Amino acid sequence: MDGRAQRLRQARIDRGHETAAAAADAFGWSRNTYAANENGNAPYSYRRAKAYAAAFGVSAEWLYDAAGEARAAGADGMAPVIGYVGANPDGTVLFALGQDPAQLAPIPPGGTVQARALKVSGHSMRGVADDGALIYFEDQRTPPSPDMLGHVVVVETDTDEVLVKRLLRGSKPGLYDLESVAGPVRPDARLRWAAHITAIIPPFQARRILRDAA
C-alpha cells in the first residue's frame, strides 16, 4: 500500500467509518472503486482526492501528496469562502481555482468542518440572497436526495460546473431539471453531487463577520 492509499485509509478510520464499504455506502461511491483506491490497487486522481477529503474532513492536498496540514479548512471554526455566485443569471459558481481562499467566515450553527461559503455578487439571486450575502453549504459530495427536490441547492454537473439552482425532477431517473432564480431552466442535467444550503447571511451581517484568510 502506498502513502496515498494509507492516508486515505487513515482519514476514513478517523472519520468513524469502520470499513471501506461503509464509507462508500455513506457517500454514494462505488464500493469496488473506493476499495481499490484505499488498498492502492488503483491510484486516485486529485479530483477524486478532493471528493474524499471533503467527505472525511481532511485537506485534499495532504491526502493526495502529503502537502501541508492534514486537517481540513474549518477545523478552527471558520469556513472558507470558496467562490462567488450570482454574477450572471446562470447561477454559476466562480471559483478561485488552485488558490487559497481570500476570506473566511464563521461556521454557522449546526455546521461542521465541511462548511463552505459562497459570496453573492450582483442582483440575479434577488429573492434568495442579495448582493454581498453569504450562502453556506456542507461540502460532502453526495448524490441528490429526494428532500432536495423543489429547493435551491448547490450542485456539480458532469460537465464540471458548480451551480446554485432549484432542483426539479428530470424526464428520466438520474436526470434533473435545474431552475435558475432568474433565467432559463436547464433540462435533464446529470449531477455528481448536490448539497442543501444550510444558511444565508444577509449582506449587512456578512460584512461584519468576514475575515481575511491571511
**CA 187 vs CA 48, 59, 154: distances in Å:** 27, 34, 16
DSSP symbol at 126: T
Residue 96 has pLDDT above 60, yes or no: no
d(CA 91, CA 154): 10
Q: In whole angstroms, give the CA distance from residue 140 to residue 138.
A: 6
Question: So what's the pLDDT on residue 127?
Answer: 77
Q: Which pLDDT value is given to residue 186?
A: 92
Task: Select from 1.10.260.40, 1.10.287.1080, 2.90.10.10, 3.40.50.720 the CATH code of 3-65.
Answer: 1.10.260.40
Give the fold, CATH level 3, of 78-212.
Umud Fragment, subunit A (2.10.109)
pLDDT of 76 reads 65
Spell out the domain ranges in the chain.
Answer: 3-65, 78-212
- Strand 115-120 and strand 78-85: the pairing is parallel
Does the fold of domain 78-212 match that of domain 3-65? no
- Per-residue pLDDT at 214: 62
| C-alpha cell at position 177 | 431539471
* pLDDT of 97: 44
Average of per-residue pLDDT across 15-21:
89
Residues 166-193, mean pLDDT to the nearest whole number: 91
Higher pLDDT, 180 or 19: 19
- 89 has a pLDDT exceeding 70: no
Band (166; pLDDT cuts 50, 70, 90): very high
pLDDT of residue 132 exceeding 90, the answer is: yes
pLDDT value at residue 137: 94
